[in-house]
């Protein structure tokens, strides 16, 4: 029986008055929440349904342009990934996986972290489609685009890695580069954003900035301070290697110092922010000690620069806290003050015993291993690397990649975007909760069976709760 405590709020007094006129696009498709990596796997797409239900419960959808996440095409995904890899993802299923044994090893699929599950290709297409369309919306004049199903930063050109198969982030950035000369990519996942860094490691068009735990062995094992890029991309990769149990104050200190420096020197024309929620305190695979407010502070800080902003999801394995964080960060994007009491919604019992947005998840006894001296050393080293840039690179128009069909270079608008804006049938029903009734029993069973019990044990148990 759950511990006694305050129940959910049945009525919530919302402040739905925006403080400015930011135009925010929000992408969601209820199908994204229905995939299942397999019993015992820590990655749970169901978290997308929980987050969406809170977002709708708070009424945040009324302050955004809401779009049904579309599926990326094979041609769009091969803008970055190899054709044979995408073809493999399209064809492999749990039923025929044995026939693809040679390719499973080659593409790092069928292993513990990247299993072959039902609907794998569709899952990849939806995640990628949201980030591609988010990038296009920004190019067409939207201020902020949100795709919580995106942020799968470990995927490589030729292989899967770390629960990630298709790198929607790279695909979204490629959209932005068709219009914007320089893009900054920021990663606040507890794990290093290795796939995105690798994709742009030789380019000065994209500066990658990753804040992550690094000790040489924590997955994926990359992200040291001296990984700065090569050739044309030298000094355009920025890594902030952090120690365990970093708290809100320390994280805000180094994030603000580094990002202010990056924005001043590089002067990007667009920003992509990966909001991996495994950097929250109490995450099953993480080891940081951030509150929901501390995590969301990064979104608020970057929003102040008033540069087109693509906001994406990422890691996060204590799914009730993932939903809390992404709901709060959606509120930040829409300039909305939310009450702490959660609104009633179909998954409310997962947020007990306090039923609050800002649950007390921070470990007060954890010792922050990041001293001010250590953080200052990182800040100084990064400042010296950035000083070598001297100025933000200029870009000749012929260096911008050719666009996909439908882009009008004179207006910067996509015909498909205009059609979606005018066609109400393409929008998410603003009064509909995330999952249709026919799917709720199955999803509720999965959440009840696995939400509190599916975690790694032994050496892989990062929260050490047995």
DSSP annotation string for 77-92? HTTTS-HHHHHHHHH-
426-445 mean pLDDT: 38
Residue 51 above 70 pLDDT? yes
CA pseudo-torsion sign 249, 251, 256, 257: positive
Average pLDDT over residues 81-108: 96
Q: What is the pLDDT of residue 391?
A: 65
pLDDT computed for residue 389 by the predictor: 87
Q: Residue 258: how many CA atoms within 13 Å on its side-chain side?
A: 31
- Between vectors from CA 362 to CA 361 and to CA 368, what angle results, nearest 5°? 155
Of the candidates 354, 433, 344, the residue with the CA atom closest to the CA atom of residue 10: 344
Please give the pLDDT value at position 212: 98
What is residue 47's predicted lDDT score, i.e. its pLDDT?
A: 97
Average pLDDT over residues 73-78: 98
What share of the chain has pLDDT > 70, as a percent?
Answer: 79
User: Nearest Cα to 69, choosing from 160, 141, 144, 145?
Assistant: 145
Which residues are within 8 A (CB) of 11 and not within 5 positions of it... i.e. 6 or more apart? none
If pLDDT is split at 50, 70 and 90, which confidence band does 390 have?
low
CA pair distance 118, 308, nearest whole angstrom: 36
Residue range 270-274: mean pLDDT, rounded: 98
What pLDDT does residue 393 have?
67
Q: Judge whether 61 counts as a catalytic residue.
A: no
User: Would you say residue 460 has pLDDT above 80?
Assistant: no
Nearest Cα neighbor of 8 from 346, 381, 453, 454 is 346
**Mean pLDDT to the nearest integer, 91-100:** 96
What pLDDT was estimated at residue 462? 43
pTM: 0.83
Q: What is the pLDDT of residue 21?
A: 74
Q: Give pLDDT, residue 141.
A: 96
Instruction: Report the b/e string of 93-122 with b at 16+ CB within 10 A.
Output: eeeeeeebeebbeebbbbeebbbbbebbbe
Judge contact between 71 and 125, C-beta under 8 A: yes
Q: Tell me which of 41, 153, 154, 212 is the catalytic residue.
A: 154
Q: Which residue has the higher pLDDT, 413 or 336?
A: 336
Strand order in the sheet with 24-28: 65-68, 24-28, 144-147, 309-312, 270-274, 183-187, 206-213, 237-242
Checking if the pLDDT of 237 tops 60, the result is yes
Residue 283 has pLDDT above 60, yes or no: yes
pLDDT digits (tens, 9 = 90+) for 189-199: 999 999 999 99
Task: Specify the DSSP element, H or E, that contains 66.
Answer: strand 65-68
Q: 130: pLDDT confidence band, cut at 50, 70 and 90?
A: very high
Is the model's pLDDT at 17 over the cut of 50? Answer: no
Q: What percent of the chain has pLDDT over 90?
A: 77
Average pLDDT score over residue span 270-299: 98
Say whether pLDDT at 168 is over 70. Answer: yes
Q: Which of 94-98, 323-327, 459-463 has the lowest mean pLDDT?
A: 459-463
Average pLDDT for 245-259 = 98
């Amino acid at each position: 029986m759950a511990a006694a405590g305050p129940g959910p709020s049945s009525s919530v007094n919302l402040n739905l008055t925006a403080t400015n006129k930011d135009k925010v696009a929000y992408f969601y498709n209820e199908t994204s929440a229905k995939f299942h990596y397999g019993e015992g796997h820590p990655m749970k797409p169901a978290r997308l349904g929980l987050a969406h239900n809170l977002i709708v419960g708070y009424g945040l959808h009324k302050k955004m342009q809401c779009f049904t996440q579309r599926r990326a095409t094979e041609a769009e995904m091969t803008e970055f990934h190899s054709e044979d890899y995408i073809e493999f993802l399209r064809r492999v299923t749990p039923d025929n996986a044995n026939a693809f044994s040679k390719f499973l090893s080659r593409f790092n699929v069928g292993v513990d972290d990247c299993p072959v599950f039902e609907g794998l290709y569709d899952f990849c297409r939806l995640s990628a489609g949201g980030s591609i369309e988010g990038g296009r919306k920004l190019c067409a004049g939207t201020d902020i685009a949100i795709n919580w199903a995106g942020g799968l930063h470990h995927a490589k050109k030729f292989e899967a890695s770390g629960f990630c198969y298709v790198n929607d982030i790279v695909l979204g950035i490629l959209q932005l580069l068709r219009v914007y000369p320089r893009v900054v990519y920021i990663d606040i996942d507890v794990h290093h954003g290795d796939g995105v860094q690798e994709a742009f490691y030789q380019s000065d068009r994209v500066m990658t900035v990753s804040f992550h735990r690094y000790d040489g062995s924590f997955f994926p094992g990359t992200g040291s301070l001296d990984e700065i890029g090569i050739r044309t991309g030298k000094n355009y990769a920025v890594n902030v290697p952090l120690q365990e149990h970093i708290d809100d104050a320390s994280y805000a200190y180094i994030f603000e110092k580094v990002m202010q420096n990056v924005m001043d020197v590089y002067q990007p024309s667009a920003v992509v922010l990966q909001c991996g929620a495994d950097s929250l305190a109490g995450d099953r695979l993480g080891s940081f000690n951030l509150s929901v407010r501390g995590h969301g502070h990064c979104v608020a800080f970057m929003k102040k620069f008033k540069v087109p902003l693509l906001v994406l999801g990422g890691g996060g394995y204590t799914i009730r806290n993932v939903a809390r964080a992404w709901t709060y960060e959606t509120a930040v994007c829409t300039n909305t003050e939310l009450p702490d009491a959660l609104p009633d919604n179909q998954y409310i019992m997962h947020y007990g015993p306090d039923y609050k947005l800002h649950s007390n998840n921070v470990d007060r006894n954890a010792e922050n291993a990041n001293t001010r001296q250590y953080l200052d050393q990182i800040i100084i080293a990064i400042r010296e690397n950035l000083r070598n840039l001297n100025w933000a690179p200029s870009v000749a128009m012929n260096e911008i990649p050719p666009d996909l069909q439908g882009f009008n270079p004179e207006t910067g608008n996509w015909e498909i975007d205009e059609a979606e804006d005018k066609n109400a049938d393409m929008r998410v029903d603003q009064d509909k909760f995330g999952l249709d009734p026919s799917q709720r029993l199955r999803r509720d069973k999965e959440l009840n069976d696995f939400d509190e019990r599916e975690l790694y044990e032994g050496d892989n148990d990062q929260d050490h709760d047995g």
